[in-house]
Amino acid sequence: MLSERLAAREREGRPIRVGVIGAGRFGTMIICQLAAMRGMRPSIVADLDVPRARAALAHAGVADDVIVEASRSDRANPVIARGGSAVTADASVLVDSDVDVVVDATGSPDAAAANALAAIQRGRHVVMVTVEADVLVGAVLRRAADEAGVVYSAAYGDQPALIVELYDWATALGLRVVAAGKGTKYLPAYRKGVPDDIWERYGMPGHEHAGLNPKMYNSFTDGTKSVTQRVFAQAVRDAIGPEFEGGRSLC
Amino acid sequence: MLSERLAAREREGRPIRVGVVGAGRFGTMIVSQLAAIKGMRPSVVADLETPRARRALHHGGVADVDIIEADRVDRANPVIARGGSVVTSDAGVLIASDVDVVVDATGNPEVACGTALAAIGHGRHVVMVTVELDVLVGAVLRRAADEAGVVYSAAYGDQPALIVELYDWARSLGFEVVAAGKGTKYLPAYRKGLPDDIWERYGMPEDASAGLNPKMYNSFTDGTKSAIEMAAVANMTGLRPDVRGMHFPPAGVETLSEILKPVEDGGILHHTGVVEVVSSIDREGRPVPHDLRWGVYVVLTSSSAYTRQCFADYGMPVDRTGKYAAFYRPYHLVGMELPLSIARAALDHEATGTPLSMPQAAVVCAAKRDLRTGDVLDGEGGATVYGLIEDTRAAAQQQLLPIGLSHGARIVRPVPEDGLVQIEDVSLETSGQLYQLWKEQQGLLPSRGR
């Protein structure tokens, strides 16, 4: 079982060292889970807003006094080596330091594409949360990853990868896939929705959306994110080869 | 993706060659699916009744003229090599012929035991559908497979392997597993159910039940099969039954996390990390809303408040305290999904669930009625005993008879209705391979007082 293989990595003292770029909502969820897992570490978290990276690790139960801010990879590496967590404002420090896998959760296609390329060039596996980047340049990134001998993967747990999993399950079994996709809250009128009144439309009261990005949530309802995910699922189906197996291929 | 890797095997002209032993309901689902898959072949189907094996292949769209009956390996192999299908009445022929993976779908523990051992001896991967066998001797078979360098695997698509998958998903991610299991249609009164009137209780019209085994279906409702499946899960994960026999609470997907949580948080569990079965009907027989009759679930929790809040934020059914959340799969496709076990074994040398070295749970017998001296037990799903899951050490300490060995056992000391049958209450055939392996598996248990 995967859980046994991860536990073995923990016992052997060589957990998978993960770098997460972007400590927003999605990044915080990743970091929280990484901290709870045996066999992985949230080794380094990069965010332009360093206190946000610290806050994500705090949510995960990592004490503030064991988090080290590092502006150079040679400062980060000793922290990573002893199983601690580094934070940095500079994604390139993260990419250069001793991590096995880089996750881009910036939500910014421009930053995500640059992070992915840098990580691939440094021989890191890449898990891409920023689906927008994937739809724009995913095939090119995948080719670069193939050439570098690393994995370029969709993010398991987000809908595209889960849809790909269902698609693969059905196709492997010889069942014909008539349609595949996801659910959302949608009305045609939402297409014209603007970020200013998104929280009412999304159904999230005032005190709950603090710190969340209104443009991102507006994209969830105006249909843009759904289209991105659909195109992405198609792209993965077309592009990602045998090495795409969710987390399995990462270790 | 797995589908692409299988398609590549097809293109390269080297599909995975599968032998299926047993062409009943389960075997037919496997065989018909195999015929639809790129990268696999239903190379040999063995059944005591070869017309049944042929019919299974027909369901898969294989034309009768393309099916060759063979009673010798050297007759079967050329057919397999050209991608055809062989039927045989002799499982020994199937095992010795050129197959990569052997699936046992006989439902008969004694037969399955011989098939599994022979297949492992021939260096074939084994996918075991006959869960009864797995509970009795799975740890020993797994050890034999390890030594032979082959995979011994639970059948993906059947509930135990799907529960193991959910368990592994949760444990890998660092969640605490509070309970894991499946749904079924259950009432306490069903415990005493007889094969004679099973179709009404199961909810299947007479004409739909033609060719099906009434004892097997009776075992589905009298709690025995549920006990066997949950014991298999316990033995593959280290989860334990909360109490002997489990609770079988009525629960739907919305109430799983409310019910299957510790007593101190308002639930019914005395321990966490348990296997449990939920009923799709309440104790008055009314349907439970959003039931899980065909599905599997896991109830989990996290030590992180942030993560627990995320459960609710993303729509998971969360209990009143906000600590526990349920994740589930609504359906299982039984034999139709089993080829994924074959693929994992042949391509990745991995099992979709395999027993741990130390068995956790056994299934013991309770009397459906007063059992008198001279009565002969008729095993799982019959008219004499029902199965209860029990901790292996407790079962060994009390010398309780496993239901997998009960078929044909003669009562030598009376047992009252609902009493547990001890090994000394019966005279047992002890010369068979199955009994010998079971003794070996018992030897794996920690000795008393340790």
How confident is the model over B176-232, as pLDDT tens digits?
999 999 999 999 999 999 999 899 888 888 788 887 889 999 999 999 999 999 999
**Which CA distances in Å does B427 have to A220, B362, B364, B406, B421?**
68, 20, 16, 10, 12
Region B88-102: mean pLDDT is: 98
Nearest to B19 by CA among B122, B132, B145, B134: B122
In this complex, do A173 and B8 lie within 8 Å of one another by their Cβ atoms?
A: no
Model confidence over A102-136: pLDDT tens digits? 999 999 999 999 999 999 999 999 999 999 999 99
Sign of CA dihedral A9, A14, A15, A21: negative
Task: Please count the other Cβ atoms lying within 10 Å of the Cβ belonging to residue B316.
Answer: 16
In this complex, do A38 and B174 lie within 8 Å of one another by their Cβ atoms?
A: yes
In this complex, do B4 and A32 lie within 8 Å of one another by their Cβ atoms?
A: no
Residue of B6, B8, B174 lying closest to A37 (CB–CB) = B174
Model confidence over B405-423: pLDDT tens digits? 999 999 999 999 999 999 9
Residues of chain B in contact with residue A180, where contact means CB-CB under 8 angstroms, are none
The rounded distance, in Å, linking the Cα atoms of A181 and A162 is 9
- Using the Cβ of B176 and the Cβ atoms of chain A, whether some distance falls under 8 Å is answered with no
Alpha helix positions (H), B21-149: 25-34, 50-59, 73-81, 91-96, 109-121, 131-148
Tokens of B92: 């020994």
Residue of A37, A173, A242 lying closest to B1 (CB–CB) = A242
Task: Please count the other Cβ atoms lying within 10 Å of the Cβ belonging to residue A91.
Answer: 24
Confidence label for A205 from pLDDT (cuts 50, 70 and 90):
confident
Vertex A102 angle, CA A99 and A108, to 5°: 145
Looking at residue B200, its pLDDT comes to 87
Round the average pLDDT of chain B to a whole number and report it.
96
Partners of A17 in the beta sheet? A41
- Using the Cβ of B154 and the Cβ atoms of chain A, whether some distance falls under 8 Å is answered with no
The rounded distance, in Å, linking the Cα atoms of B127 and A109 is 45
Q: Does A56 have pLDDT greater than 70?
A: yes
Q: Does A235 have pLDDT greater than 80?
A: no
- Using the Cβ of B309 and the Cβ atoms of chain A, whether some distance falls under 8 Å is answered with no
Looking at residue B212, its pLDDT comes to 84
Cβ–Cβ under 8 Å, residues B290 and B253: yes
Partners of B152 in the beta sheet? B126
As a three-state string, the secondary structure of B78-97 is HHHHCCCEEEECCHHHHHHC
Residue B165: in which H helix or E strand, if any?
A: helix B159-172
Cβ–Cβ under 8 Å, residues B223 and B190: yes
Vertex B271 angle, CA B265 and B277, to 5°: 95
- Using the Cβ of A203 and the Cβ atoms of chain B, whether some distance falls under 8 Å is answered with no
| Buried b / exposed e along A141-155 (16+ C-beta atoms within 10 A) | bbebbbebebbbbbb
- Using the Cβ of B168 and the Cβ atoms of chain A, whether some distance falls under 8 Å is answered with yes
Q: Does A249 have pLDDT greater than 50?
A: no
- Using the Cβ of B337 and the Cβ atoms of chain A, whether some distance falls under 8 Å is answered with yes
In this complex, do B1 and A171 lie within 8 Å of one another by their Cβ atoms?
A: yes
Model confidence over B360-401: pLDDT tens digits? 999 999 999 999 999 999 999 999 999 999 999 999 999 999
Q: Which of A:32-91 have CB within 8 Å of B? A: 32-33, 35-38, 59-61
Residue of B nearest to A10 (CA): B172
The rounded distance, in Å, linking the Cα atoms of B170 and B166 is 6
The rounded distance, in Å, linking the Cα atoms of A197 and B205 is 56
**Shortest Cα–Cα distance, A149 to chain B (Å):** 17
- Using the Cβ of B340 and the Cβ atoms of chain A, whether some distance falls under 8 Å is answered with yes
**Which CA distances in Å does B83 have to A179, B17, B65, B68?**
31, 8, 14, 12
Phi, psi of A52 (to 5 degrees): -65, -40
Cβ–Cβ under 8 Å, residues B114 and B72: no
The rounded distance, in Å, linking the Cα atoms of B383 and B365 is 12
Model confidence over B27-70: pLDDT tens digits? 999 999 999 999 999 999 999 999 999 999 999 999 999 999 99
Vertex A242 angle, CA A236 and A244, to 5°: 50
In this complex, do A37 and B37 lie within 8 Å of one another by their Cβ atoms?
A: no
What is the number of H-type helices and E-type strands within chain B? 16, 16
Round the average pLDDT of chain A to a whole number and report it.
90
**Shortest Cα–Cα distance, B303 to chain A (Å):** 8
In this complex, do A173 and B336 lie within 8 Å of one another by their Cβ atoms?
A: yes
Contacts of B338 (CB under 8 A, 6+ apart): B29, B30, B33, B103, B127, B129, B155, B156, B157, B158
Cβ–Cβ under 8 Å, residues A213 and B76: no
Q: Does B138 have pLDDT greater than 70?
A: yes
The rounded distance, in Å, linking the Cα atoms of B405 and B231 is 15
Contacts of A158 (CB under 8 A, 6+ apart): A129, A131, A229
The rounded distance, in Å, linking the Cα atoms of A223 and A226 is 5
DSSP state of B386: E
Tokens of B288: 């439970």
Nearest to A20 by CA among A115, A84, A114: A115
Region B157-173: mean pLDDT is: 98
Predicted TM-score (pTM) of this structure:
0.93
Give the residue, B202 or A168, on which the prediction is more confident.
A168
In this complex, do B3 and A244 lie within 8 Å of one another by their Cβ atoms?
A: no
Residue of B2, B305, B306 lying closest to A28 (CB–CB) = B306
DSSP state of B66: G
DSSP state of B250: B
Confidence label for A233 from pLDDT (cuts 50, 70 and 90):
low
